[in-house]
Amino acid sequence: MKDRAGTSMKRVIILGVSLCLCSAGMAHAAHQGNTAPIVAEAERHVAATQPDPGGVVFRNVAVHGMDGASVVCGEMAAHDTPAGSVHMKFGYVQGQDDPVVFSGRDVPQKISFNEVNSWLNDSIKLEDLEEMGCVPKGTYHSYNERLNQVMSQRKQFGVN
């Protein structure tokens, strides 16, 4: 009798664990089902920012809520981007037309005068991504410090 009771108890435990896992899996699938249209919308808008929207691949895409809206974060690159190369980070707020796309390029040793605005605009995009929760806190600060350091050493019109 004792063996039957022990076996029955094991079955009840296994059944309980199975039900928990199954319901968690169903909730996860339902959650993913709800985010799939948002992710597709984000990817469509983000890809449209590139010269070849059909040749863009995405990775590390995630959705989170912020101030009552859904925010999609991730990375993208051209389909033929070599392995190990930089993917651009992006953020998209559901229902908006303009996603934020950060190039991901490292700050060089020198920046020519003609490229200053491009670098400043790119750093602002990184700040936006940080506010959207798409990059860790402090990412913009570190990047901006490096950019300011390079800019301060730049010669303008032959004068330092």
Domain-embedded: residue 134? yes
Gap between the Cα atoms of 37 and 18, Å rounded: 30
Q: Which domain holds residue 112?
A: 32-155
Domain-embedded: residue 145? yes
Query: pLDDT (tens digit, 9 = 90+) per residue, 24-35?
Result: 333 333 344 478
Q: Are 132 and 122 in contact (CB under 8 A)?
A: no
pLDDT of residue 20: 39
Gap between the Cα atoms of 147 and 35, Å rounded: 36
The total number of structural domains in the chain stands at 1
Domain-embedded: residue 3? no
Task: Please tell me the pTM assigned to this model.
Answer: 0.73
Gap between the Cα atoms of 66 and 83, Å rounded: 32
| Helix H or strand E segment including 129 | helix 116-132
Domain-embedded: residue 86? yes
6-15, 20-29, 116-125: the lowest-pLDDT one: 20-29
Residue type (1 letter), 133: G
Gap between the Cα atoms of 127 and 119, Å rounded: 13
Domain-embedded: residue 102? yes
Domain-embedded: residue 6? no
Question: Tokens 């200053």 map to which residue?
Answer: 116
Average pLDDT along the chain: 80
- Please give the residue that has the higher pLDDT: either 33 or 43: 43
Domain-embedded: residue 26? no
Q: Are 38 and 72 in contact (CB under 8 A)?
A: yes
Domain-embedded: residue 15? no
